[in-house]
């Protein structure tokens, strides 16, 4: 059975697409069958961020009833499967977000995790991903405006029957993790499942169209993201290496064999 997570926020630019891509890639690298889907059908940033802007079939065609979801799945970094959205305005206008629920049913047997990158705001295409997810994850920046917007999104998610699993505080700065978490939990009434630091490697990796967890795996943001992914998958990871133990052993074995 697939577990569906929707990454949401009140306002744009908090890091939903970045989290969807990097948590998805991490889960795939942990050996989980994972698909990331761009339900931000107006902006369609996810495919762009991975260099998939030229593909023939996207979620637009699927939500317009013109193609099967299976034709819109592409191989992404680290073995993550990717369902991009199209970049044409016409494709967006022809898409019916209500069809997302049916699309999910077709993916159920093939995946462990489906991560949905939701649009910001409270439009119809934004509400459906909140309602159909098993868990909604709010992506928040440590600023008042972002927190207030996340609050609205949480209420909206609950109104449409969604369940908020927790909050990722992205672009966290020098304030201590404990202080930030405490504040967020108090205001939002939701658990903080991870803090991802402000990290210039995130933008560097994005301009190379490669997830930061692959391009700069030891950077602060990558370590934090892998920890969140492991938490979502219920995997214990090696404390120092921030990798699942089996992966470390496999890598060690490879290095060892290579040297002989």
Residues 48-107 that bind ligand ADP (CB under 6 A): none
Q: Give the one entry of ligand ADP, Mg ion, none that residue 14 binds, where binding means its C-beta sits below a cut-off of 5 to 8 angstroms depending on kind.
A: ligand ADP
The Cα–Cα gap between 134 and 7 comes to: 11
Selected binder of ligand ADP within 53, 185, 198, 238 (CB under 6 A): 198
Under the binding rule (CB under 5 A), the answer on residue 17 touching Mg ion is: yes
Q: Which does 198 bind (CB under 5 to 8 A by kind): ligand ADP, Mg ion, none?
A: ligand ADP
Q: Which is nearer to ligand ADP, 15 or 166 (CB)?
A: 15
The verdict on 170 binding ligand ADP (CB under 6 A) reads: yes
Pairwise CA distance, residues 8 & 16, whole Å: 6
Question: For residue 137, which of 84, 181, 192 has the smallest C-alpha distance?
Answer: 192
Instruction: Check residue 45 for interaction with Mg ion (CB under 5 A).
Output: yes
Q: Among 2-10, 13-21, 149-157, 249-257, which window interacts with Mg ion (CB under 5 A)?
A: 13-21
Q: 199, 210, 223, 237: which one contacts ligand ADP (CB under 6 A)?
A: 199
| 8 bridge partner residues | 138
* Among the residue ranges 31-39, 79-87, 123-131, 191-199, the one whose residues contact ligand ADP (CB under 6 A): 191-199
d(C-alpha 84, C-alpha 47), whole Å: 5
**Nearest-angstrom CA–CA distance, 219 and 78:** 17
Contacting residue, 5, 16, 64, 92, with ligand ADP by CB under 6 A: 16
Q: How far apart are CA 155 and CA 157, in angstroms?
A: 5
Q: Which of 4, 8, 9, 230 binds ligand ADP (CB under 6 A)?
A: 9
The 3-state DSSP class for residue 1 equals coil
Coil vs helix vs strand at 92: helix
Among candidates 214, 205, 246, 206, which has minimal Cα distance to 77?
Answer: 214
Nearer to ligand ADP, 154 or 171 (CB): 171
- Paired tokens of 55: 């593909």
Binding positions for Mg ion, rule: CB under 5 A: 16-17, 45
């Amino acid at each position: 059975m697939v577990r569906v997570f929707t990454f949401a926020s009140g306002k744009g630019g908090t890091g939903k697409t970045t989290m969807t891509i990097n948590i998805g890639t991490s889960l795939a690298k942990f050996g989980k069958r994972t698909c990331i889907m761009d339900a931000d059908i107006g902006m369609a940033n996810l495919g762009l961020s991975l260099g998939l802007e030229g593909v023939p079939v996207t979620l637009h065609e699927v939500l317009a009833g013109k193609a099967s979801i299976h034709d819109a799945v592409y191989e992404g970094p680290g073995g993550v499967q990717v369902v991009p959205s199209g970049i044409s305005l016409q494709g967006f206008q022809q898409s019916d977000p209500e069809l997302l629920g049916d699309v999910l049913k077709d993916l159920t047997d093939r995946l462990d995790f489906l991560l949905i990158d939701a649009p910001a705001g409270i439009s119809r295409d934004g509400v459906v991903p909140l309602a159909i997810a098993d868990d909604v994850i709010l992506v928040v920046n440590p600023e008042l405006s972002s927190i207030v917007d996340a609050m609205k999104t949480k209420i909206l998610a609950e109104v449409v029957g969604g369940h908020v699993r927790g909050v990722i505080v992205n672009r966290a700065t020098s304030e201590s993790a404990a202080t930030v978490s405490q504040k967020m939990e108090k205001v939002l009434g939701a658990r903080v499942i991870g803090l991802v630091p402000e990290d210039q490697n995130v933008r560097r990796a994005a301009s190379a169209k490669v997830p930061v967890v692959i391009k700069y795996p030891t950077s602060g943001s990558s370590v934090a993201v892998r920890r969140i992914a492991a938490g979502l998958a219920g995997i214990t990871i090696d404390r120092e290496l921030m990798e699942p133990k089996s992966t470390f052993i496999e890598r060690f074995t490879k290095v060892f064999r290579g040297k002989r």
